[in-house]
């Protein structure tokens, strides 16, 4: 039993510094997100996918990842996760603007294919639901090489769980009880298609039963709930306990991408009701409530995040595009 008189972050062993850093990172992610939409209007960022609303799900999981050791197989929505693991605003803006300094691909991949060798973030595929297979392959490799104390973690939306490749991935993980964690960021929509038209059960997590692993549901806008569940799942994976399917219930606050008009399939009232549950507001309120930060501290964090994004935008904008002579680099071999 947990003692309700002890603050949640203390129960989870999280320090004040970790909370402040996470809040700053979530604000930074939102500020990059804001900037990407403007850059798309200017014709500089050609494709934008939002992470707004998903920040707690991604930062909560990041706390449970041993960055640079565990392998992370994200999807296009995971910009906040990339920041939480150690990428910078400049990395992401360079990626979005297709510049040479982009760590994901040197400016060759479309936005949303986050990757970093240093951080063991594996480049995903745009084919929805196909990349969990890569995470399962990695977990199988850890097993084959006798590596312990390591896990793979993969992320996807609820729409992805309707894809054949997703079922093959989770099936193999269940059969071999592999060290892999499947994280569903359930935001209720696959672009314009509501969950009720593609997932035959109310909770994606219940699918886990058919694949021989626990399915866990958390409030994905509550960073502490996400961390507690992700930590347990990663711990189980690292210690031979097998895979987990973790469902984080959340909501994307913006259209699917810069090519989408969300007002064609959902209402402004619905979006507003989720704005009230904005994960950044929630973590700020927690810090204030527990006397860990003042309003002035929170405003300072916000100002610094905005300044970091302004500077990163300027640097990325001025940076060179990749040289045509590098067109065939990294395609085959090294």
Ligand X SMILES: Cc1ncc(C[n+]2csc(CCOP(=O)(O)OP(=O)(O)O)c2C)c(N)n1
- Interacting residues toward ligand X by CB under 6 A: 77, 126-128, 156-160, 185, 187, 189-191, 256
Identity of the residue, 40 or 187, whose beta carbon is nearer to Mg ion in the bound complex: 187
Residue 136 CB, nearest distance to Mg ion (Å)?
Answer: 21
**Rg of the chain's alpha carbons, rounded to an integer?**
19
Kindly provide the residue ranges of all beta strands, DSSP E only, lying in 32-128, ordered along the sequence. 71-73
For the chain, the residue count is 334
Using the contact rule CB under 5 A, the part of the chain among 41-49, 134-142, 185-193, 305-313 near Mg ion is 185-193
By CB under 5 A, the residues from 188 to 217 that bind Mg ion are 190
What is the spatial distance between Cα 131 and Cα 193, in angstroms, rounded to a whole number? 21
> In terms of Cα–Cα distance, which of 153, 157, 159, 158 is closest to 173?
153
Selection from 53, 81, 50 nearest residue 277 by Cα = 53
State the binding partner of 211 from Mg ion, ligand X, none, CB within 5 to 8 A by kind.
Answer: none
Pick the stretch among 5-13, 154-162, 239-247, 307-315 that binds Mg ion (CB under 5 A).
154-162
Residue with smaller CB distance to ligand X, 236 or 256: 256
Let me know if 20 is exposed, middle or buried by CB neighbors in 10 A (0-12, 13-18, 19+).
middle
Span from 74-82, 130-138, 183-191, 272-280 in contact with Mg ion (CB under 5 A):
183-191
What is the spatial distance between Cα 88 and Cα 50, in angstroms, rounded to a whole number?
17
Give residues with Cβ within 8 angstroms of 65, minimum separation 6.
72, 85, 153, 230, 234
Least CB distance from residue 326 to Mg ion, whole Å? 35
Nearer to ligand X, 76 or 286 (CB): 76
User: What are the two backbone dihedrals, phi and then psi, of residue 181, each rounded to the nearest 5 degrees?
Assistant: -115, 130
What is the smallest separation between the CB atom of 36 and ligand X, expressed in angstroms?
Answer: 16
Tell me which stretch binds Mg ion (CB under 5 A): 180-188, 207-215, 221-229, 267-275. Answer: 180-188
Instruction: State which of residues 29, 87, 115, 187 lies at the interface with Mg ion (CB under 5 A).
Output: 187
* In the complex, least distance from residue 90 CB atom to ligand X, rounded to whole angstroms: 25
Smaller CB separation from Mg ion, 124 or 157: 157
Give the nearer residue to ligand X in terms of CB position, either 159 or 220: 159
Residue 52 beta carbon to Mg ion: minimum distance, rounded to whole angstroms:
14
Residue 174: how many other CB atoms lie within 10 Å: 20
**Minimum distance from residue 259 beta carbon to ligand X (Å):** 10
CB of 76 to ligand X, least distance (A): 7
Residue nearest ligand X, Cβ-based: 157
Residue 157 touching Mg ion (CB under 5 A):
yes
- Beta strands per DSSP E along the chain: 71-73, 152-157, 180-186, 189-190, 193-194, 215-219, 244-249
Do 315 and 89 contact (CB within 8 A), yes or no? no
Contact residues: Mg ion, CB under 5 A: 157-159, 187, 190
């Amino acid at each position: 039993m947990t003692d309700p008189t002890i603050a949640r972050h203390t129960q989870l062993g999280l320090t004040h510094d970790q909370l402040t850093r996470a809040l700053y990172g979530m604000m930074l992610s939102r500020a990059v997100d804001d900037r990407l939409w403007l850059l798309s209007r200017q014709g500089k960022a050609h494709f934008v996918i939002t992470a707004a609303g998903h920040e707690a799900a991604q930062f909560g999981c990041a706390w449970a990842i041993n960055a640079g050791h565990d392998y992370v197989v994200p999807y296009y929505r995971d910009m906040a996760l990339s920041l939480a693991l150690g990428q910078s605003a400049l990395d992401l803006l360079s990626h979005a603007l297709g510049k040479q300094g982009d760590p994901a691909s040197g400016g060759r991949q479309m936005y949303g294919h986050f990757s970093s060798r240093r951080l063991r973030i594996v480049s995903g595929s745009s084919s929805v639901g196909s990349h969990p297979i890569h995470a399962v392959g990695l977990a199988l490799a850890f097993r084959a090489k006798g590596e312990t104390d390591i896990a793979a973690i993969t992320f996807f939306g609820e729409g992805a769980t309707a894809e054949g490749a997703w079922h093959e991935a989770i099936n193999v993980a269940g059969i071999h009880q592999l060290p892999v964690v499947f994280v569903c960021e359930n935001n209720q929509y696959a672009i314009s298609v509501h969950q009720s038209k593609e997932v035959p059960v109310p909770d994606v997590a219940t699918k886990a039963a058919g694949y021989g692993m626990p399915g866990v549901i958390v409030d994905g806008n509550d960073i502490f709930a996400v961390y507690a569940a992700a930590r347990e799942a990663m711990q189980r994976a690292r210690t031979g306990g097998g895979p987990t399917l973790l469902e984080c219930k959340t909501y994307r606050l913006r259209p699917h991408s810069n090519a989408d008009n969300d007002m064609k399939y959902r209402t402004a009232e619905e979006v507003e009701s989720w704005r009230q549950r904005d994960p950044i507001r929630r973590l700020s309120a927690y810090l204030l409530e527990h006397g860990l930060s003042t309003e002035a501290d929170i405003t300072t964090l916000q100002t610094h995040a905005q300044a970091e994004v302004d500077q990163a935008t300027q640097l990325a904008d001025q940076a060179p595009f990749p040289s045509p002579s590098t067109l065939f680099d990294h395609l085959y071999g090294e």
